[in-house]
Every structure is written in C-alpha cells, then in structure tokens.
Structure 1
Amino acid sequence: MTRFFLATILTLIANFSFAQVVTPDSTETIKEIKDSIYIAETENVKGKDKVLHAEPLFIDLIRDLGARKGEKEWNVGFGMTDRKTFDSYSGLIEYEWAPVNRLGFEVELPFTFYYPTDTGISKNDIPQSRLNSLKLATQFSFFVSEKHSTSMAIGYIHEFELTSFNKYGKDKLLKGNIYNPFFVAAKRWGDNFHTLLYTGPLIEHHFKDNSLQTTWQINSNFHYMISGTRNFIGIEFNKELHKGDFDMTIRPQMRLGITDNLLVGIITGIPINRENQRFSSFVRLIYEPKHKKKYV
C-alpha cells in the first residue's frame, strides 16, 4: 500500500511537471531572448561573480557555488529503498545559508525507518530506525569565472552519528563521527548543458571499537536546463570505493519550479549491483525564502 501511494504521488507530480515544461510561454517567445532568463537573474547582477550551475538533487551542495551573502534555502526530502528483505524509508530536514559571499553553511537532520518485507524476517534482524545524525557542513567557492562558466569549491561535512530510537536511555546517544572533506568542480557548456564533479573521502569513526573506515565518493553529474526556466532533467552517477569494492547507483532526476520560490526534485535510484539494494526513489522539496527575480 505504501509503495502504491508513493508511486501514485510521484506519477502525479511528474505529469503535472511535464505539462509545465512542454507548455510554450508566449511571453518568452515575444522577448526572443538568446540566453536563459534564469542565467541572467543569477549572473547579471551587481556584486561578486556567480555562475549558474545545475545542482544535483540526491547528493546536493551545501550552498550554490559562488553563493552570495544573504542567500538561504530550506529542503525537505523523503525517499524509499527496496533492500530485498526489508524497505528503508529515509527523510531529511535541511537549512542552508550564506553569511558572506562564496561561503555557505548547512545544518541537516537525516532519519531512516526500516520495515521488514519478508515474513521470515523480524524487526530485530534488520537495522533499527533512528535519527541518523546531526550533520553540520560548510563550503567555500575559491574559484568563480563567469567568463569560463566554471566554478570550484572545497568543503567539509561533519556528522555526529546517533544511536537508534529503541536504545535511547539504554546506550550512549553518540555512537561515532563521520568526517567528509570534499572538492567540487562545475562547468556550464553554453546556456543549457551542465556538468559537475563532487568527490572526497568519507571517514567513519566508530566509538565502540575505536575503528576507522574510509569510503571514497566520486559523484559525477550531467544536466540539461530548460531555457528561461529553473527546470532541468539530468542524471547523477554516485560511485563509492571501499576496500577494493566498487558500487555505483545511477540516479535519473528532474527539477521543476512550482512557484517563484518553491521547487520539487524527483529522483530514481538504479544500482548497478543489486547485492545490497534494488530500486529507490526520492523526492526533495526546495524552498527559498524571499526569492526575488532580478531582470536586466
């Protein structure tokens, strides 16, 4: 029932969004502009340089590359993953902002609930539902070139891993740390095509046995943004390398503007190796307070 409900929601959103994308806008036709209006809104304003880039929806950035002071954004996400004998339902609440030009911060609360799908599996045989962590992050864009439509940034994510709900009051609340420095490079090709690379090590420090585990993340992205809109379609290739084991999940996605300051992102996950999981889906709602258009 839950899967059917989620599939129905995603289908309705996708159908509504597709209608938005393909409906011709007579105003835009009359203007006969060459560049995307949204590119002009982002780049042709006074102040620090900033290049419009399509931001991936699953592993998103801390803040826009070349962020300008005062920018802020709320994200709420919900997803489901089929893991053969059980399903995991994930969610997040996230707030990001830029206190000064090119520097962004983020606070995120990710959580996961697990339910068995195999009648021979009990809840004790699967991972326990929990608020995964308190995630704090920062990102600094050290190179922004409107001339070359290129931006680069470095950043750091720190997660305070938390114990499962059923162990509250019985076990230590904090079970470990995750250290994740990363590097981002992005380039827009012409007005519509966007590429982005996001990579870095994810180091898990478990307090129970004081062990360290390192996983390398290499995430490459390709997007096509519809001219004159904030809508795009694209794909993420989320790759992980851990102790010689390589895993990749392909995530087709689309982002659509619902109102001037509200967007929705829809993502599907397709693992190339199904030993740990099968298909997944994720929806992200993006709200930008006090978003104002700046036409030139």
Structure 2
Amino acid sequence: MSLKYSLRIVLFSTLVLCSISIFGQVTKQERDSIYISETEDQKGLSPKVLHAEPLYIDLIRDLGARKGEREWNVGFGVNDNNDYEEYEALIEYEWAPVDRLGLEIELPFQFYYDRRESSNADPLPQSRLEGLQFAAQYSFLVSPKYNLSMAGGYLHSFTMNAFNRYDSGRLFTGNKMSPFLVVAKRLGSNFHSLVYSGPVWERGFSGFENEFFYQIHTSFHYMITGTRNFIGLEINKIIVDGKLETTLRPQMRLGISDHLMIGIVTGIPIEANNDRFSTFFRLIYEPKTKH
C-alpha cells in the first residue's frame, strides 16, 4: 500500500470521526452503555453481567449463562522447552441447558517433538489425547447492581494412555478432579477482573501415579468501547509441593464477525525452568441463541 493511499485512508477516517463528534450521534460512553445493555438488559431473560473471559484457562460458560447459549472452541498452542517442543490442541463444546448452568465437553491433545541430538537423554513425554474432560459450572450470584458474578464448578477428566500404548496397555489411566470457584468484577464499563481458583487431584488407577496442586488464576482485561474486542493479562499460578510457579499470559481477543472471534495468547514463565515462551490461539464460535 502506497503512502499516498494510506494518508487518504487516515484523512477519511478522521473526517468520519469528526462528523460523528460534531453531529453528536453516539458518544463513547453511550456506545459502552448500548453494548452492555445488549447483553444484560434483555426483557424476559435472567439477569447477567458482561465479563471478559480469560483465553487460556477459560470458563465453562459465561457467568450468568442463559438457557440455550452455546459455544464451540478450537485451540492450538506451541510450548518451547529446552529439550523438546510441545504442541497442544483442543476441541470443546459449551452449552447452557438451563439458566446459570454451563456444561462442557473437551478433548485436549498433546504432541511432542524431540530436538535433542543425544540418544542417551531422558525419554520424552509421549503424545496423547490427555483425556475425556467434562465440566459443570453454576453461577450462584449475579449482581448487575455491583457488576459482580460468582460461580462454583467441577471439572473431571478421565486421563488416557499415550497413543503408542493403546495396544499394550489400558486405554484409561486414571482420574483428574478439580472443583473451582470463580469471582468476576467489572470496574466501570471497560475494565474487567476475574479470579479462578481451586485444587487439582490426579490419581492413577494403579494407585501410584498421584499428583496434587492448587491453582490460582487471575486476569485483568480492558474491553474496547462498544465491541467484544479486548486486551489483557492472565496470570496463571500453581502451588506444587509448597513452591509457586507463575506464568504471565498477555492476550487479546478480536471479533471477526457477529458469531466468530479469535484469541491470541503469549506465555511467559517467571521461574527459571525448562519451560520457555509459548503461544496459544483460540477460535471461538457462538451460534445465534434461540431464547
């Protein structure tokens, strides 16, 4: 694109914005109010508060979900490790069978690529479908007056064996259990905060493959005026054996159409370990809701 053409676009955009300002059609504050009311103030429907949902550790459904809401997610990520590369992918479906209750089915995959030259190094993790994951979330508090929502939920995963062990071993290897609590607060029209926390137990059927950690995930987002687009920061924290592991995940969400969005996430680990930078993409499709 030439510089002359670019200047024309900038000039035209400036004139349009000035015209809107001069004729007073819609102010910034009014656009925020209109967009928020489209979500919250629908007559005949249950109360709901607009919140920005984190993109990496996402929720089971919107807080205050309304009956009939649905969402498809497809995700893909790359995690850089000193010894290998890890590729993750997921397919998930969320829906609300009744007001305030969200359900989810997810299939998370992990694939590994060895880039070490030595054949005597420690064996890599094996590529696998991590498990069949089911989750439920119920919003027990929805307060439009205070822009506040709270929900409790439970996630259960039937963990699975590596692909190359399907013939020689059992298909399912154990259970992963994770009750959680979510608290979200919108500050004004554009700023959003959220806390997601709870323990995670993983127990193998053999009785020896046990793991326990506690997760505390916080997020802060700024939603662009009158849109579903946002930029923000998700801080993923887990406590394992008394040690805190933290990963910062700057992120952004862009609306492609009325029902399709894309999320882009970068992972930056704080502690010095084998993990390095990571990238994650999430494609979000929300079919039109029939109330």
TM-score over 0.5 for the pair: yes
Residues 156-167 of structure 1 aligned to structure 2 (within 5 Å): 156-167=154-165
| Cα pair distance change 1:76/1:121, threshold 3 Å | farther
1:55 aligned partner:
53
What's the CA shift string for 1:149-169, capped at 9, x where partnerless? 000000000000000000012
CA contact (8 A) 1:115 1:123 kept: no
What residue identity is the alignment partner of 1:107?
A: I
1:185 aligned partner:
183
Structure having the higher Rg: 2
Residues 151-230 of structure 1 aligned to structure 2 (within 5 Å): 151-230=149-228
What residue identity is the alignment partner of 1:144?
A: V
1:208 offset after TM fit, Å? 2.4
| Cα pair distance change 1:278/1:96, threshold 3 Å | same
2:42 aligned partner:
45
What SS does the aligned partner of 1:54 have?
Answer: coil
What SS does the aligned partner of 1:279 have?
Answer: strand
What SS does the aligned partner of 2:279 have?
Answer: strand
CA contact (8 A) 1:37 1:227 kept: no
TM-score, with structure 2 as normaliser:
0.89
Give me the whole-angstrom Cα distance separating, in 1, the residues matched to 2:163 and 2:272: 28
TM-score, with structure 1 as normaliser:
0.87
Residues 1-296 of structure 1 aligned to structure 2 (within 5 Å): 30-32=25-27, 33=30, 35-46=32-43, 47-121=45-119, 125-290=123-288
1:15 aligned partner:
none
What SS does the aligned partner of 1:194 have?
Answer: strand
What SS does the aligned partner of 2:167 have?
Answer: coil
What residue identity is the alignment partner of 1:65?
A: L
What residue identity is the alignment partner of 2:36?
A: I
Give me the whole-angstrom Cα distance separating, in 2, the residues matched to 1:102 and 1:67: 4
Give me the whole-angstrom Cα distance separating, in 1, the residues matched to 2:31 and 2:226: 9
CA contact (8 A) 1:262 1:285 kept: yes
Give me the whole-angstrom Cα distance separating, in 2, the residues matched to 1:73 and 1:286: 7
1:37 offset after TM fit, Å? 3.5
2:3 aligned partner:
none
CA contact (8 A) 1:109 1:132 kept: yes
What residue identity is the alignment partner of 1:262?
A: L
1:14 aligned partner:
none
1:210 offset after TM fit, Å? 4.2
CA contact (8 A) 1:149 1:188 kept: yes
Give me the whole-angstrom Cα distance separating, in 1, the residues matched to 2:229 and 2:194: 17
1:245 offset after TM fit, Å? 1.6
**Gapped regions of structure 2 (runs ≥ 5):** 1-12
CA contact (8 A) 1:56 1:236 kept: yes
The number of equivalent residue pairs is: 271
1:17 aligned partner:
none
CA contact (8 A) 2:175 2:204 kept: yes
What SS does the aligned partner of 2:153 have?
Answer: strand
CA contact (8 A) 1:28 1:228 kept: no
What SS does the aligned partner of 1:125 have?
Answer: coil
Identity of aligned residues (%): 55
1:38 offset after TM fit, Å? 2.7
CA contact (8 A) 1:116 1:123 kept: no
CA contact (8 A) 2:31 2:226 kept: no
RMSD between aligned residues = 2.0
1:290 offset after TM fit, Å? 1.7
What SS does the aligned partner of 1:40 have?
Answer: helix
| Cα pair distance change 1:258/1:291, threshold 3 Å | farther
